[in-house]
Amino acid sequence: MPSLAPDHTRFLRMVSFWLTIILFVKLGGFFTWSNNIAITRVIKVISRIAMTGSIWYLYRSIIGRGAIASFGWQHSLSPLLYGAYLLLGFISILWSTDPGYSGLQWFMDFEALVFCYYFIACFILIDYFFAGSAVKMYHVIGNAVMMMIAIFLVGMYVDPDTFYRLTHGGEEARLGGFIMNPNELGMLCAVGVSCFIFNFYRKHRVVWTAVKIGLLLWAIVLTGSRSSTIGCLLIAFFHIRQSSNTRLKILMYAGALLAIPVAVNTLLIKEHGGGLDEVMSMTGRLPFWQALLTEGLPKAPFFGFGFMRIANTDYFQGEHIFTYAAKMTHNTFIQVLMNLGFVGFAIVVFQLVFTIRGFMQVAEREKSLICVGVLIPIMINSFTEFGIFGETNYGILFYQLLIFYISLSINPRLTPREKLFLFRRRPELKSERAGRVA
């Protein structure tokens, strides 16, 4: 591909800006900004659909600037199996114990999938037809996350009653309030940390990046999220292993090891958070999971209770094993097992295997590192919260982005009509170096 033409710089800055804003608003659509259920639903529906329309418009703008939407597929088993999962979910509405709820959850997942396709398509087009562009996916995601977390960091001082959630009889305050589950908010912070780390690889605004990461780590501490703390430690060790500087690796390992006792004492074994007993029982989840598998699953073992349904009623509660009552399982794999049975469970296990395999086989090292780095926090979250196959949440959104990121590619073989369009829009591509485009 030819070098980036100077007259495209302003356009690409605009694209980067709008990608960040669109993702920021899209993420905002997963939060509960009002105590009024009707208002919350309107905000969520309008913001999500509007951002899907916006990303499509931006995608068309990139094409209009001089790019061809001629796509090919690689690592295709990942998107194919994800499509099979959604297809089974759609069919399961027929036997769902609440068709309306299952249908709504399915529609929101499908709408997010459409958004992710066009979002990733924008980056694929820019990387190929505007070579040398500074528009990077990790930069866009990191900034969108930072903007969202900044609202909470400011809000906890302006309106602490709204932005903090009191737990354990009021003894512990966790950032997130009832706007967002603190564990989910912590996971979002960890995704942001994972993305910003890539600025260190390219030595881009190192000091400012360190400040952003520091703020996100502070937010994780304020959420009191054990899973997010573990996620950040794993992200740190993962990236340390990528460094070729032995001295730097030793220093970073030493710093991470020194941080572990503090993290264990302040977050994993909380003085006012149930202590070690709570950790060992996964905050009460283990008995609940046992009841789900021994009492609930035998009632619908093969195809489950319907998409995002875990019982014949709205809530499941153990009959022989004492548990709390809940609408979701707090484990994305058990969630699939309950709502789509063993058939759905087999599909998602193979889908995940082929997705991770795709991460490992991606030719571009940076892309592979991004995928693994983002997957770490959302996978850890999947074992204790909604997760990548649970009720609609932005963990699903990030996972769908990763699926398209490894599977969508440019098909370099253009038709005569496509070549004509491209060369009219981009005359500079008629040079000999443009032969690779044609």
The pLDDT tens digits of the residues spanning 337-367 come to: 999 999 999 999 999 999 999 999 998 988 9
Instruction: Give the span between the Cα atoms of 423 and 104, in whole angstroms.
Output: 44
Give me the mean pLDDT over the 22-50 stretch. Answer: 92
Which of 385, 388, 392 lies closest to 101, judged by CA?
A: 392
285 pLDDT tier (thresholds 50, 70, 90)? confident
Q: Are strands 172-175 and 164-167 parallel, antiparallel or unpaired?
A: antiparallel
At residue 269 the predicted structure's pLDDT band, cuts being 50, 70 and 90, is low
Q: Residue 75 in contact with residue 357, Cβ under 8 Å?
A: yes
pLDDT of residue 163: 92
Distance CA 186, CA 204 (A): 25
As a whole number, the mean pLDDT across the chain is 87
pLDDT band, very low/low/confident/very high, at 140 (cuts 50, 70, 90):
very high
Helix, strand, coil content of the chain in percent (nearest 5): 70, 5, 25
- pLDDT at residue 36, as a whole number: 86
The span from the CA of 221 to the CA of 286, in Å, is 24
Residues 357-416 pLDDT 10s: 999 999 898 899 999 999 999 999 999 888 999 999 999 999 999 999 999 999 888 888
**Of residues 152, 121, 149, the one with CA closest to residue 135:** 121
The listed range with the strongest mean pLDDT (135-144, 288-297, 419-428) is 135-144
pLDDT (0 to 100) of residue 279: 53
164 beta partners: 175
All residues at 6 or more sequence positions from 173 whose CB lies less than 8 Å from its CB, including other chains: 160, 164, 165, 166, 167
Q: How confident is the model at residue 319 (pLDDT cuts 50, 70, 90)?
A: confident
- In whole angstroms, give the CA distance from residue 278 to residue 170: 17
Looking only at the bridges linking them, the beta strands covering 172-175 and 71-73 are: unpaired
In 3D space, the residue among 45, 3, 10, 4 whose CA is nearest the CA of residue 25 turns out to be: 45
pLDDT band at 278 (very low <50, low <70, confident <90, very high): low
- Provide mean pLDDT across the span 157-168: 86
The average pLDDT across 125-132 equals 89
The confidence band for 433, taking pLDDT boundaries of 50, 70 and 90, is very low
